[in-house]
Structure formats: C-alpha cells, structure tokens
Chain A
Amino acid sequence: MSNPDTPIASASESSPKPLPEWRQYVRFVGSAISQSIEGGWKFYVWMTLLTAIFLVGANAWAVQERDGMAVTAMSDHVSWGLYIANFTFIVGLAAGGVMMVIPAYLYHDKDMHDIVIIGELLAIAAIIMSIMFVVCDLGRPDRFWHMLPGLGKFNFPVSMLTWDVIVLNGYLLINLHICGYLLYKRFRGHAPRAKMYVPFVFLSIVWAISIHTVTAFLYCGLGGRPFWNTALLAPRFLASAFVSGPAFLIVAIQIIRNQTGRMFGEGAIVTLVSIIRITILISLLMVASEVFVEFYTGGSHTGAARYLYFGLDGHNELVPWIWSSVVATILAGILFLVKDVNRYPWVLNTACLLAFAGLWIEKGMGMIIPAFIPSTLHEIVEYRPSLTEWKVTAGIWALGFMIYTLLIKITVNVYSSKQRNSKGQRTIASTDALAMAEES
C-alpha cells in the first residue's frame, strides 16, 4: 500500500533541488489517482455498490441508444420526463453549494471558510450529473459536436439552451479551477495566492445564481406552456436550490466528520440551518402564491395545476407525488424551526432528508410533467417513467456519488497529510478543525 506521505517525505529528505512545476503537477494528479483506489473496506464496498448501480444505468442507456427512446415512457405529448426533471433539480443542487461560499467569503464566517470546499466540490459533482442527464435525454448524443462553437452551429444568443450550455460548463470550469488550485497548492505545502482564486470565488457566486436562472428561463420563456410561463419560476428555482443544496451539505458534513473521526463544521451547520429556515419558507410561499393564481383564476390555462394537484378527468398519476412533496416540505420547514435543531442529529437529518426529497419531486417531476399534461391542444396523455428511465437515473446518481466521494477523499487526504510549508519545513496541518480551506 502506498503511503501518501512518502513522496513528500523523501523529497524533503533528499537534496533540495526542486522538481519542475509540471512534474509536481503530475505527482499531484498521480497522488489523487492513487487516493482514489486506496481505502478501507467500507470505501471498497461503497464504491463497488455505486459502480454496480452505475453499470446497470450505463447498460440501460446503451440499450436506449440502440433501440431508440421508445424504451422510455416519453411520447410526443409528454416529450420530457424523468431525465429533464432530474436535470432541473440537480442544477439547483449545484447552485445550492454557493450557500457555503456566500457566508465564507461575503460574511467572513470562519467556520464556513474552513470547509467551504465541501460546497464547491458538490457543485462539480452536481454539474457533471446534470450534463449527463441532458446527454441521456438526447435522441442523438453522437451529434453532440453540432453544438461546439466553431465546429458545429451554436444558436447563441437566441436559444436559451445555448445559454445553459455556457453557464453550466462555465460553472464547472470555475469550480474545477478553484478546488484544483487550492488542492494543488496545499499538496505542495504552499500558501495559495489570493489573486489566483478569490476573483473566481466571487465570480462563482454570481455564476451560481445564473445557472439556475438560465435553467428556469429555458422553461418560462415558452409562451405555449402556461404552466411554465410565469415570471416567478426563476426565483422559485433559486429559493428551492438554497434549500436542497444546504440540506445535502449538512448531511455530507456529518458523514465526512464520522468518516474522518474529526469534529469540525458545527458552526457551518448552524449557519446552513439558519439559511434553510428562511429559504424553505420563501420556497413554500412562492408555491402557495402560484397555486393561488392558478386556482383562483381558473380557466383552461390552469389545467396543468389541476392535473398536478387533483387530477384531471380521472387522470391523477402525479397527485400522490405532489402531495407527498407538499407534506414533506412543510414538515421539514417545521422541523428546521426547532430550537437548536443542530443538537438533535435525528431531527436535523430527518428534516434535511424530507426537504431534499420533497424538492426533488416538486422541482423535478412536479415541475416538468404538468407542463405537458394536458398537451398544448389539451389532450391528456399520462406519463409514468419506464424501468429504463429509472435505471439510467439511478446510474447517474450513483456516478455523482462516486465523483463526490472521490473528490472529498482526495481533499481530506491532501489537507490532513503532513505538509511542507513555504519555507520547506515539514508541518502538520491543523487537526482541531479539518481546515480544508486555504489559510486566510
């Protein structure tokens, strides 16, 4: 078993002639790769399980490519389904990570600052997942190059989908740069230079808002779909993203704590809880506001909302889903209000899970499917995802968890291994906190 300390130790013991920068970087990447395939039995079980689920999904996708999208339950009436529903939700998850960045960098919250990289890494994993959901929804992924500017034809700025391609990939690159730079510097034992990453951190805050706004614009700009055609859609997307992202991160921080056996991030959890307390109520208020407009106005434009909440002409596929979501989200909202909820892990984690699941339904299937039912000519064709769609979806989630696990694992290793500081002396990273962020 290779010891991650060995290269650094030997480097410091041998002659001080430094390796060229590119070789240092190769060492950094090599170390990251070796971290990715080394670990205890829990790690192997977890990764093997995820790989197995991913392979089931990959196989389902391969069959879908061969036999056509007829293996999904989508139709010309409901032409987007589970894939686009997940895509929409996960873009929110990626944007939600910014709720760690804002307290850390705008409000100088020390606790948050130390572990902000947990949120930035979530953005990376989530964006990769969201891009995969779109690719799996394409009828002809083999023609993806038609979208590449220069090579293909990129219908910018008219098509909102081209905007989405830009903001999603941009967000991925920004976060890859921030995390990659900080990790590499840490790996080398150097202090990161603020001008190399702080401007990108601030850019990432604006950019996080943009990814979910543009994703909402994909839908709300379509005049032919009254259910989506509301100016409230982008604010609603953001409010729910600032619930689902922090909810995921609260649980993630606790798991990382358990696995590393280090106590850190309690302050960060308290901050995240106070954020969710507000955002979940705003999110619910916006849903209530939409529901009021739909039902008080009435008329055939509100058929989608009637279908979603109460069923239409005996068609009620989504009714149990949306009411589960309403109950889960309200319950979560109440639980988050419990005084010092962070001291009761069971209550806190139940609240996070309920909020996450509730919004997955509401910003997923509950947001996408009703826009197609009834159809633009008021025909009612229902949709229930096929097994293929569930397999592909599970596969992408498994891949997302794999990526996030590896990113966190590599990061924990880099930040907790023995380091040389900038003077070449060996130091040990602070162990009281995980101290994942750069020293500020």
Chain B
Amino acid sequence: MSEHPQTSPNSPVHDDGATRRNVLKGIGATLGIAAYAKALAPLTELTQETSMDEFLQKHYREMSKEEIATVIERLEAETKEKYGADVTISDPEPLDGVKFGYALNLSICNGCRKCAEACHLENNHDRPSHQSYIRVFEMSKGSMDFEKGNAHYDHPVPHPDKYYMPVQCQQCEHPPCVDVCPVEATWKEKDGIVVVDYNWCIGCRYCEAACPYHARRFNWQKPEIAAEEINPDQSYLSNRIRPQGVMEKCTFCLHRTRKGRLPACLEACPTGARVFGDLNDPNSEIRWVLENKRVFVLKEELGLKPQFFYFFDE
C-alpha cells in the first residue's frame, strides 16, 4: 500500500518523517502491549489455582495405583488448603461380578424430596445453588408426560391428584454421554456406573446436551461449601469436591455402594420407595422387583437401556 516515492537514505526530510513515525509506532506498540496485559490480567489469578501437577495429570485409567495415590494425597491437601476440611479420598474398585441397578416404586413415593436433599449433602454439592443429582417431578395422574410435570412444586405433599417421579442418572447400558465425550473423560465402569474423571474433563458440555434424562451437571463456578458441612468420606470418582468448569453426575454413591453400603438417597427415603442392589444376584431385592412387578424405564424408545427402573404397586 506504500505510495511513498523512493527517497535517498540521506534525505533529512525522509529521516524526520521516519523518526516521528517510528516514535509514534513505538508509543502505539507500548500502549498496545500494556492494554493486552491489562485485559488478560484476570488470568494470572487463575494460574495460582491450578498447579503444574494438576495440569500434567494423566487420565485416571492410565495411572498406576501409586500415581493415583499421589494424586489423591495432593487432592486431600488441596481440600484442606482451599476449604479448610480434613477429608479422606478413597478409590474403591468395582466389585467383581456385581452390576448395580436401581428401582423406584412410584405408588409410594410421596414427593418429599428427602432423596434430593440427601444427595446434596452426601455428594458435597455447591450450597448456594442447592445442587442435587435428583430432580423430583410432580406428575398429573393419568399422564406420563413430563410436559405436564412440575419440578418446582411448593406445597404439602403428597397432593391427592398427583404422583411423584424422582429422576436421576439412569446409568444407561448404552450411555450417549460417554459416546459424545471427545476426550474419554467419562466412561461406564464394570459395575454399570457411569463416572467422570473430574481432572480430565475439558468442560465442553457435549455430554450434557446428549443426555436425555437431564442427569448431568456442570460446575459453573468453584463449588462453595463450608468446612463443617463437607462430607469427609469421599472418593476420586464420586463425591470429592469438584473443580470449577467440569461435569459431574450421579455415581450411585459408589464410595458407599462399592463398600457394601446403600446410596444416600435410598437411606434417606422415608417411604421405602427405593430399591437398590446387584442385578447379577438372583436373590437380591432388585431382582425380585424386576421379576414380580410391572417395571418400565424412562424413554425406552431411545434404546439406551437404562439400569434405573420405575414401577407401580397396584
């Protein structure tokens, strides 16, 4: 674009022009760099949050037992530092030959939302948003359509004209959330539980778009939770406090269920509507329900084969 005629390098006119121009450019460049630095300054506060060890951490399934132990040690220390709580993070493996399933009796669920509350406390959810992996819908009798359901009911329960349908992760046999993840940060474990490596997830939220059951949650900011409210019994793949910017989901409380205990939502249920157990054990209560009740799954037509079943008593 230069239209300047070629001038002799010795020409004083040329020199002056060039000098003034260079000075202006220098000022421009300096101001520009300063503006860039100022604009991006908030990032410097962020790098203090993320350690180099965390940045370089390998995928959960690529780490040896020792490496996982080191990571867990670091995570425990970070929880102490950031949240002021002493916690124990375990890493229980899937039990051999066990496949977990869940069933829910819609005839007796009374919509009290004790399960959602228990989930909130057990899984160290963000307190201000009152996050939970369970949403309870108040449904109109005579309809299975969620369009006529309401998750925001606020009156004494049970309402005589309604029934209640709690929804959480259905632990699909063919989970679309796992298929769509670009970095394999989420997968299905041997015992049927779909888990997330919170330290590998890049936070693209494709899984959240893919899930037909609204089972996934994103950490829109760093979870807030008071030290005395933190559940110290944690595991790497389930209820440890999640980092900002990653996905999370129901894990059937694997830190409990893999150690022979029941999920927190089940223990909290006052009606006995929830049945949890090993689908491979012919003598389990869940097998009895599947064999003796008329069970159904949500959105069966999608072909995802949920491992979460609903049934009516009568």
Query: Do A3 and B4 have beta carbons less than 8 Å apart?
Result: yes
A68-B219, A69-B221 are known contacts. Are A377 and B183 too (CB-CB below 8 A)? no
Residue-wise, chain B 1-38 has the 8 Å CB interface mask toward A (1 for contact) of 11010100000000001100100010000001001101
Query: Do B1 and A39 have beta carbons less than 8 Å apart?
Result: yes
Residue-wise, chain B 210-239 has the 8 Å CB interface mask toward A (1 for contact) of 111110111111100000000000000000
Chain B residues within an 8 Å CB radius of A72: 220
Residue-wise, chain A 36-80 has the 8 Å CB interface mask toward B (1 for contact) of 011110010000000100011011001101111110101111011
**Other-chain contact of B1, A6, A147, A413 (Cβ < 8 Å):** A413
Q: Does B179 contact A (CB under 8 A)?
A: yes
Docked Cα-Cα span, A21 to B246, in Å, equals 48
Residue-wise, chain A 101-137 has the 8 Å CB interface mask toward B (1 for contact) of 0000000000000000000000000000000001001
Smallest Cβ-Cβ distance to B179: which chain A residue: A158
Say whether chain B's binding surface is mostly helix, strand, loop, or mixed. Answer: loop
**Other-chain contact of B135, A74, A165, A377 (Cβ < 8 Å):** A377
Chain A residues within an 8 Å CB radius of B146: 300, 377-379
**Other-chain contact of B210, A2, A35, A154, A222 (Cβ < 8 Å):** A222
Query: Do B180 and A138 have beta carbons less than 8 Å apart?
Result: no
A55-B36, A66-B45 are known contacts. Are A303 and B147 too (CB-CB below 8 A)? yes
Query: Do A43 and B1 have beta carbons less than 8 Å apart?
Result: yes
Chain A residues within an 8 Å CB radius of B182: 147, 154-155, 159, 161-162, 165
**Other-chain contact of B208, A39, A79, A153, A162 (Cβ < 8 Å):** A79
Query: Do B1 and A379 have beta carbons less than 8 Å apart?
Result: no
A38-B2, A222-B210 are known contacts. Are A139 and B42 too (CB-CB below 8 A)? no
B21-65 at interface with A (beta carbon < 8 Å): 21, 25, 32, 35-36, 38-43, 45-46, 50, 55, 59
Smallest Cβ-Cβ distance to A152: which chain B residue: B183
Q: Does B284 contact A (CB under 8 A)?
A: no
Docked Cα-Cα span, A248 to B71, in Å, equals 51
Among A79, A219, A409, find the residue whose CB has the most chain B CB atoms closer than 10 A. A79
**Other-chain contact of A378, B25, B149, B208, B246 (Cβ < 8 Å):** B149
B126-180 at interface with A (beta carbon < 8 Å): 135, 137, 145-147, 149, 151, 167, 176, 179-180
Query: Do A143 and B202 have beta carbons less than 8 Å apart?
Result: yes
Complex A-B: 6 CB contacts under 8 Å: A76-B216, A140-B202, A142-B55, A165-B182, A303-B147, A412-B1
Query: Do B147 and A160 have beta carbons less than 8 Å apart?
Result: no
Within the complex, what minimum Cβ distance (angstroms) separates B213 from chain A?
Answer: 6
Q: Does A225 contact B (CB under 8 A)?
A: yes
Q: Does B201 contact A (CB under 8 A)?
A: yes
Query: Do A376 and B212 have beta carbons less than 8 Å apart?
Result: yes
Query: Do B18 and A1 have beta carbons less than 8 Å apart?
Result: yes
Q: Does A4 contact B (CB under 8 A)?
A: yes
Query: Do B59 and A153 have beta carbons less than 8 Å apart?
Result: yes
Residue-wise, chain A 1-21 has the 8 Å CB interface mask toward B (1 for contact) of 111111000000000000000
Query: Do B204 and A137 have beta carbons less than 8 Å apart?
Result: yes
Give how many A residues have a beta carbon under 8 Å from the other chain's beta carbons: 72
A66-B42, A222-B176 are known contacts. Are A139 and B203 too (CB-CB below 8 A)? yes
A1-B2, A224-B176 are known contacts. Are A62 and B211 too (CB-CB below 8 A)? no
Smallest Cβ-Cβ distance to A9: which chain B residue: B6
Chain B residues within an 8 Å CB radius of A68: 219-222, 244-245
A35-B1, A59-B39, A65-B46 are known contacts. Are A224 and B25 too (CB-CB below 8 A)? no
Smallest Cβ-Cβ distance to B150: which chain A residue: A379
Chain A residues within an 8 Å CB radius of B167: 377
**Other-chain contact of A139, B4, B25, B38, B245 (Cβ < 8 Å):** B245
**Other-chain contact of A79, B151, B180, B205 (Cβ < 8 Å):** B205
Q: Does B181 contact A (CB under 8 A)?
A: yes
Smallest Cβ-Cβ distance to A74: which chain B residue: B220
Docked Cα-Cα span, A26 to B78, in Å, equals 48
Q: Does B185 contact A (CB under 8 A)?
A: yes
Chain A residues within an 8 Å CB radius of B205: 79-80, 137, 139
Q: Does A371 contact B (CB under 8 A)?
A: yes
Chain A residues within an 8 Å CB radius of B202: 138-141, 143-144, 146-147
Query: Do B145 and A300 have beta carbons less than 8 Å apart?
Result: yes
Smallest Cβ-Cβ distance to B56: which chain A residue: A145
Q: Does A96 contact B (CB under 8 A)?
A: no
Q: Does B209 contact A (CB under 8 A)?
A: yes
Q: Does A189 contact B (CB under 8 A)?
A: no
Docked Cα-Cα span, A147 to B146, in Å, equals 37
Q: Does A374 contact B (CB under 8 A)?
A: yes
Query: Do A139 and B147 have beta carbons less than 8 Å apart?
Result: no
Chain B residues within an 8 Å CB radius of A225: 209, 212
Q: Does A421 contact B (CB under 8 A)?
A: no
Among A43, A80, A376, find the residue whose CB has the most chain B CB atoms closer than 10 A. A376
Docked Cα-Cα span, A139 to B217, in Å, equals 12
Q: Does B184 contact A (CB under 8 A)?
A: yes
Query: Do B180 and A159 have beta carbons less than 8 Å apart?
Result: yes
